[in-house]
Amino acid sequence: MVMSLIPGPEDLYLFHEGNLFQSYRMLGAHLTIEAGVSGVRFSVWAPHAREVRVIGDFNRWDGSKHVMQKISLWGVWSLFVPNIKEGNYYKYEIATSGGATLHKADPYAFWSEVKPGTASRIASLEGYEWADQAWREKRKTTSAFHGPMNIYEVHLGTWKKKPDGGYYTYRELAEDLVEYVKDMGYTHIELLPLAEHPYDRSWGYQATGYYSVTSRFGTPKDFMYFIDRCHQAGLGVIMDWVPGHFVKDDHGLRRFDGEPLFEYNDPARADKPEWGTLSFDFSKPEVVSFLISNALFWMDIYHIDGLRVDAVASLLYLNFGKPREMWVKNTHGGDENPEAIEFIKKLNRTVFGYDPHALMMAEDSTAWPLVTAPVHDGGLGFNYKWNMGWMNDMLKYMEMDPYFRGGSHSLLTFSFMYAFSENYVLPLSHDEVVHGKKSLLNKMPGDYWQKFANLRVLYGYMMSHPGKKLLFMGGEFGQFDEWKDLEDLDWEMLGYDSHLSMHRYVRDLNHLYLREAALWELDHQPEGFAWIDPHDQKQSVATFMRKSSDPEDVLVIVSNFTPVYHEHYRIGVPYAGEYVELFNSDAGEYGGSGKLNSGKLKTEEIAWHDRPDSLHIGLPPLATVIFKPIKIKRKRSKANRGRSRADA
């Protein structure tokens, strides 16, 4: 509990200017002491209201007892109510200028009633004793760009459920999920949105409580415990964040004080018919204060390491997802939303000013340039962008009959043309395994064995491709059904050999990734990649190198996307000497056919792929194989060899 939190003139000025970036410390419901009396200071922005009252279980929901005072010309109302404690329920009762009475949840509430209830709850966010200091110090000295990043994307409500169908709590997940993710070799957990939301099947993307971590799984301090345990285990946490739109439920932000407030005044600009939601009005400074404060809130209060910003395309373009009859133009006659663009830039400048090591990832499906360039260099200011182009091309390619993939070889290789134009994350996310799209395994063509082999070669190729990685839960054991967003994953599949072998494969592939700096140290630099052969479309094979800052730390990757075994396949290599097969997705323990390259492989002075030395290998069917030099043979020039003989 803290001393009085009466909003001061400076904070009010900054809020109305769009520059109060910790507005959650002024607005909302705060346990405090005023004039020696314990209670709660309530403050809310409602400029169109005729009157605002606090109602709750402490006054039998009778607003006449607690009428708020307007303390700002631009509509901030405030009131101290004594003798309220943590856990009490409340709402704002708003008398509109049109004569209606609305009951609204607090936009800045820290805790919410368990669904289907819609009230806000009093919560203290102080007093939790964090034990993640080592993690937070490590973040300050570790570059995300030059380190491994392998993200496990999770929907907490359906990762696992209890036998009675109930949810696991944040504290239970802090044990089970954290241990599982760490053992599987991931570096980060990405959580689908956890802001309070009324409808389970929105997955959190249609929120009512932007500052309220969902009560489905416990209390705010339970969530702190979950994050703390992630950090203690060496796992970063990224949360999906949704500034593009909000839900229309009556108790939420829509027409909050009887008039459009958080949304645009113009219905054509406000409405998002594709999702049944409303867009934030980025021209209103108070909305900018609300949203940027919210981004910082999750990092400040909950120690979140970064945000994956959802649906950036819907921010950048006014008419995204709208039928033509609803299209509008900006003042220059274009489709871009200049206010949202400025908001994005301001958001990223502010976040990195607060935490230079934060992760700000754009889920952007457009070709907008310089998404991950700094704002001062003309960019949007994110530090990562999801590579939706790679994902779409690869899944289209993988769904083809392998015998016809050669005609679409460019789908396999085109991503390398732009791989270093942004800082990319390669995502195989929840969006690709729901709404009739089928699971990743079930997208794969062929018989039962070929489906698993196709998925293994895809994962091997993904892990070798430049860019950080993301896989949605269930993909690691080859869930056969698409994601069922009201049920938990099909963990019983691990009782079948093929799925257990896939699970083992992904775990081993993840740990290989962690060990090999060539797979991540130069992810965003052309120097970290080189083609060996991008042109073998006839056999649907791609061969390339990944390199670290050590010039001799090289991996040679060969991916065969047909079910044909090439017993005699030759590849050019960067160095003469001896190589070993470091990894082979066709290994028997992974469910493959066991076509391995055993022992030491010696190069031959046979020029191949424009290189003086080459390896003769067996190339397994539908497999990714990785080779590494273990002994490099130094070649002397003819002149040097001559001098050596003379000296002898």
Every domain of the chain with CATH number 2.60.40.1180 lies at 526-632
Q: Is the model's pLDDT at 648 over the cut of 50?
A: no
Which pLDDT score, from 0 to 100, does residue 634 have? 79
Which pLDDT score, from 0 to 100, does residue 304 have? 98
Which pLDDT score, from 0 to 100, does residue 410 have? 97
Give Cα 460 to chain centroid, integer Å: 21
Residues with a catalytic annotation lie at 310, 363
- The pLDDT tens digits for 332-343 are 999 999 999 999
Q: Span 505-525, mean pLDDT? A: 98
Is 264 in a helix, a strand, or coil?
coil
CA dihedral 362, 542, 526, 419 (to 10 degrees): -20
Task: Identify whether the C-beta of residue 541 lies closer than 8 Å to the C-beta of residue 214.
Answer: no
Task: Output 433-438 pairs: Cβ under 8 A, ≥24 positions apart.
Answer: 433/472, 433/474, 433/475, 433/479, 433/482, 433/483, 434/482, 434/483, 434/485, 435/482, 436/482, 437/482, 438/482
Q: Span 153-167, mean pLDDT? A: 96
Residue range 526-632, CATH number: 2.60.40.1180
Give Cα 275 to chain centroid, integer Å: 20
Task: Kindly report the three-state secondary structure assignment for every residue of 138-171.
Answer: HHHHCCCCCCCCEEEEECHHHHCECCCCCECCHH
Q: Is the model's pLDDT at 635 over the cut of 90?
A: no
Q: At what angle do helices 448-464 and 388-398 cross, to 10 degrees?
A: 150
Which pLDDT score, from 0 to 100, does residue 2 have? 57
- Can you give the pTM of this predicted structure? 0.96
In what helix (H) or strand (E) does residue 440 lie, and over which residues does it extend?
helix 440-443
- What is the rounded CA–CA span in Å between residue 353 and residue 381? 12
- What is the rounded CA–CA span in Å between residue 648 and residue 643? 9
Which pLDDT score, from 0 to 100, does residue 637 have? 59
- What is the rounded CA–CA span in Å between residue 304 and residue 297? 9
Q: Is the model's pLDDT at 1 over the cut of 70?
A: no
493: Cα within 13 Å, side-chain hemisphere? 18
Every domain of the chain with CATH number 3.20.20.80 lies at 149-519
Q: Span 368-378, mean pLDDT? A: 97
Give Cα 9 to chain centroid, integer Å: 38
Q: Is the model's pLDDT at 279 over the cut of 60?
A: yes
CATH architecture of 149-519: Alpha-Beta Barrel (3.20)
Q: Is the model's pLDDT at 644 over the cut of 90?
A: no
Return left, alpha or beta for 372; rule: phi > 0 is left, psi -120 to 50 is alpha, else beta.
alpha
Residues in the chain: 648
**For domain 2-121, which CATH number applies: 2.60.40.10, 3.90.79.10, 1.20.1070.10, 3.30.10.20?**
2.60.40.10
Read off the pLDDT band of 642 (50, 70, 90): very low
Which pLDDT score, from 0 to 100, does residue 646 have? 31
Q: Which of 2-6, 83-87, 626-630 has the lowest mean pLDDT?
A: 2-6
Contacts of 571 (CB under 8 A, 6+ apart): 532, 533, 543, 556, 558, 608, 609, 614, 615, 617
Which pLDDT score, from 0 to 100, does residue 87 have? 97
- Residue 162, classified by CB atoms within 10 Å of its CB into exposed (0-12), middle (13-18) or buried (19+), is exposed
Every domain of the chain with CATH number 2.60.40.10 lies at 2-121
- The pLDDT tens digits for 570-613 are 999 999 999 999 999 999 999 999 999 999 999 999 999 999 99
Which pLDDT score, from 0 to 100, does residue 6 have? 82
Q: Span 531-544, mean pLDDT? A: 98
Higher pLDDT, residue 590 or 4? 590
Read off the pLDDT band of 647 (50, 70, 90): very low
